[in-house]
Structure 1
Amino acid sequence: MKPNLINAFLLMILSLMALGTTGISAQTLNRPTAADNPNLSGNSVWTAACGSAGFNEYYVNFTWLPTVAVDNEFILELSDANGMFTTATELSRVSDKNTDFDFEFNFALPENTRGDAYRFRVRSTKPAKTSPPSLPFEMYYIDFNTTINIRELGDTAPTPAKQVKLCGGGSTTLEVYNVPNAETYRYNWYRNTSPYTVSGYGPSIEVTEGGFYVVELDYGTTCSGSSNTQSLSMEVQIGTSVGLALNPPVKTVLCTGETVAPLEANMNYPDLFYTWFKDGNMVQGSTQGAYTYAIDTNDAQFSGDYTVRIQGDGICTETSNPVTITQAGMFSVSRDNPANMVLLPGQTTTLSVTSDSTPVSYQWYKDNLALNGETARTLVANSVGVYYAEVSLSGGSCPMATISSETTTLVYPNAFEFTIDYATDYTDCINTSIAMEISRINAVLSDGSKLDVTTDLKASFAYQWTKDGVNVGGATSNNISLINTGENGIYTLVGSLDGFNPVSNALPVRLLTNEMLAITSNATIICGTGDTATISTSTDLSGATFRWSKDGLEILDTSEVLTVSEPGTYQLTVEKNGCDLKSNQLVITPFDDSLIILNPQTEDILFPEGSSREVSVTGANSYQWFDENKVLLGDTDSVTLSLEGTYTIIATINDCQVSKTFTVSYQDTFGVPNVITANGDGFNDQWVLPNTYTKDPAIHVIIYNQKGEEVLNQFQYKNNWPEATMKFPKQNMVFYYTIKNAKQTLKKGTITVIR
């Protein structure tokens, strides 16, 4: 049996044990995990998905606990590239696994999958549950896996050059030109094999430095290596400027429609390639010999900064300084009324335009026909149609110029349509207040089409809000605010204007009561088997529908005061007006004696005879210190000791107690001996160290002979060298010792053995 399946069955058994024989545990969906592909040899559990037209088959394992309805479906969903499920993608759906607690989903990567943080989750439909998300995965669908071609922007030759000479201090743009929908990909650019991110990760980069440039599609850390998209290199050399400039034009201030001489580069060579730009945007692609450019003054947008770039053999790529061309006699016309307006039967409306220049004249048009005598800035319209005004400017350096205003469409409505919406984000039983408002007013025309007239008529209607079909007293504006659960219901908005009485769509409101539900416990720590804690609330639960939960799962206990004997996170939910009001989460933890910390943190405490040492403790509510005769020494969080012996601290946390014992010894005052007489007379036969070095388990003692060979290597030295069985061939033998604490040498010296 698979480990995941074993875990699923264990969870199921534990849940059934908790419920006895009265029911089945609530459904649990576990996070999906990557699984091996049974159609591939060996164990092929994937860690990153690199799909393509040649291979796109993956599996994830999913385990769950009963129970679900017989017509339940399990749905495998994929997040977006950032791991968010706001717009989750369905990958697979199964309806025949409702008794299979451990199975695999098979899926293929969608062709738009590109990112490093995709996650999976599984949803069930009956009941509606969602699993925790999986760990993030790098996932890419490799839909382009051929060599990328790059060129200098503007080089449109069938075989673009692979070398660019750039004038010092100038710049040029390298671009990808054989990748469909190139802007939808992320790219890795390199200069001389090093990442080049100065201009970002798009399909083009601006370069100012010499070097060899290459690019590849960014398919992530794992998948990029298998896509084989890296381009051939483009060499950029730095050359010397040839002094490119635009010859000063005769005129730089031009009138609309004026015929003028073209702009001209000062380097007019027919074998060079010229690219023309206006305001940095290309207006004429790279063309051999095109060293002039004709400005079309009939184009309303002809004014701007013009530059030219040259390319060709023997010269470096260079862009000229700009020449600014402006438009004379420029003026603007603005429409003062909305683009779409409703004209009610028998009514008129006033249209108007405004110009920022004088003197100007006006001529109004309706349905493209001039209206006789309508030559003022305003027009009183009394029929439906499409209206605009021609505004003409006379005088100045240019002949008369004419600009048409934007159009205004007037229509008769057959009816009006109201749409209301929540003014802010709203979720049933989450919000404790909400405002609703008119969000759109449509005029419904005779052909069934609709015209948005919200801005025009919002202030013209009279309003009445209704709740469950009954008028709400005083609610006669275009919005309404609700702040308590007594206002829950179904709302509509009725309007009134000149015989039209539109009724809006209906919006339900179910607010959560704006009150606090708090639970407390007489203890937050359970000491051990048989210990309990009591959880209660000050809220009156009599007659209420409520439920207790532990670690997110409902407890089948209907007591108003809950007695618990297991650690966990507990919560109370009370139904209020059809909504679940949840309490704070109360964490009951098992007792952990590691919370009680002695300082110093050692079982053997040393200090010189005649002095004293303070010992303190943290982590409990109360303390008692005892000596080895069970005499109480104190009940605070510290005690000062001056005598050797064995001591005990008893610490209490709530009803839990922990006892810790430690010893106190006087620190030896003698030094490290350098002579011993290993003659077996029982006196000075062994090398004895002060307990400063023997009590601490971190102290490391090493003894070497005259050849540098270790004869003892011991932590927490036992004062047992040399052993009685050791033989010394010479009368006076010298040994060397080192005493260390971690990497620090505390002491070193010699030991002379006299036998």
Structure 2
Amino acid sequence: MSRLKYIIFCLVFGLGIQFGNAQNISVDESYTPQDLVEDILINSPCANVFNVSVSGGNFASGEKSFGYFDATGTTFPFQNGIILSTGKINNAPGPNIYLSDDGGGIGWNGDSDLNDALGLSNTFNATILEFDFIPLGNRISFDYIFSSEQYLTNPSSNQCNYTDGFAFLLKRNGETNYQNLAVVPGTNIPVKVNTVRGSGTICPPANQAYFDAFNDTNHPTNFNGQTKILKAESDVIPGETYHIKLVIADEGNYRFDSAIFLGGGSFNFGIDLGDDRLIATGNPLCPSETLTVDATQAGATGYQWFRNTNTIPGATNPTYTITSAGDYTVNIFYGTTCSPPSNTLKIEYAESLVINQDLFTECDADTNQDGKTVFDLDVIKNQLFTNLPTDYNISFFEIPTSTTALPTNYTNTIPNNQTIYARIMNIQGCYSDYPVNLVVNTFDTILADETIGLCENSILNLDAGSGFTSYEWNTDPPQFTQQITVNSGGSYEVTVTNSFNCSKTKTFTVEASGIATIEDIIINDFQENNSATIQISASSLGNYEFSLDDINYQDSNIFTNLLEGEYTVYVNDKKKCGVAKRTFYILDYPKYFTPNGDNYNDTWYIKNLRKRNLQNSTISIFDRYGKLIKQYNANTEAWDGTFNGSNLPSNDYWFTLELTNGKTIKGHFTLKR
């Protein structure tokens, strides 16, 4: 950033471009230290200030590191005030185009009190404004802004801890230790570049709520960044003498100047009326509660109370009893010219909450119907009161003495009826616990889903059962009767409601079905394990089972270990839409025959070839040496065990069956005499 500012500075002044002074602050070095404190910082006839001194840089040019600034007409937050810098204040006015980097080699030392306050040992270029004062009230405060060239927009990582230091050191007469008032609000952390910084650079942000901005070129001051307006404040004892020392210095070396801007007229000697009573801080006044505030000050000659900057008629006593919300201040008069205002006391009232609903009913949502279910306590919270403000935090507890809040999704522990308690968590002392009644109704009737078949060209009546107060089917359009009639497959859901207004849903799965169409039977015979596979048409709708005797059914469509012979297969629709059947034949060859003239098994032939349209197949029979003994048409002949009219001896013979479907079967059999 510093190199960029130097380049911009050279370009701006090299080209002779002039920035209008109206948009930038101006500084004035002619004010005396007494004038800076009495007329600029305090600017009140109530001031009792003395022993004012200031010290800073000993520049050869005579320029100063302290003085008055005027920001009228600019965007700078203060209109005017005091500036204390670690460099020349003449470098402070904008625009932000070059690096303010003064004070090297002139013997400008740091400050030991600042070192002690910040735990340092290496400060340089200290500018100090200090004075004694006697407060009229019990509190002092003033406003300030910390600005610095060390707020770099593009730093290297080793520059993240570069920071100048400053402190507002206060001590009562006779005390030895200072109190530093220049701290991050609500902490003891001194305000510096690395303790109040915004995001957007490689350096970590810190206390961003109090950081204003990294500045571009067009800014009323010539500093790279600054804090927001911060307030230095402390309790004091009226009438006691205090010393305050306002000091800023470079840390480590003279490089990269910083400055403190003190808001003109912001130094306040007024009285502190006490802590604000706000909903946000959990301590508002309760409905119909009053608060008496005491502003009594020794030496005061009069009082005037204000609400929302408006005079409260007749409120001229040291005490005032507050009965309504508002911003309260009091002017305390010391003679005819001095009337320092107090701080502003902000008062809010807690709402008088009105119960809207404290009975909440749910139905038992699970299957065991034990009178327990889940309640959404966020929903209950929003329905409990008619006028619950959005910033009120409510938690729920099982008993009034419990400190363990219930989860948002809470399952009651007492079946059917339980009382829990709602508690306003962020406002203390205004509300007791509110009882909330949880009721769980049950639906004890068991509704079992059903799967039903619907045969082709048929209708089906679906019945949800009696005894319910209402019915709703998921048909299009919805139907609201106990029974409906359907003529197509699908999922039909009915939601039934009982007398407790609890509902359950039953699903009827209607599966379209019909009698099977047997498309083919794939036979694998002439095997050790003959089988038949029943093929059903893809257009068949049902879920089928298979049998060879119409008694014993199986889910598989394959039958195995079938002997030679005639079979009838039965295909039954499980949804009772009917049975389809077909006859088929298993072929096999005899393993032996006995041509002994008893008219039983006297010839060797293969049965049922005609039934399979294989009657024109050719059979060739061979002896053990491969000699052709017999060849004949399976449709017309059989072999009687002879060759050329002579009986052949008992032995094994071989055959070849050439089927008309192109398949060839080979095997052997035995001739027994």
Q: Same fold (TM over 0.5)?
A: no
Relative contact order, CA 8 A, sep 6+: which one is greater? 2
Report which of the two has the higher share of strand. 1
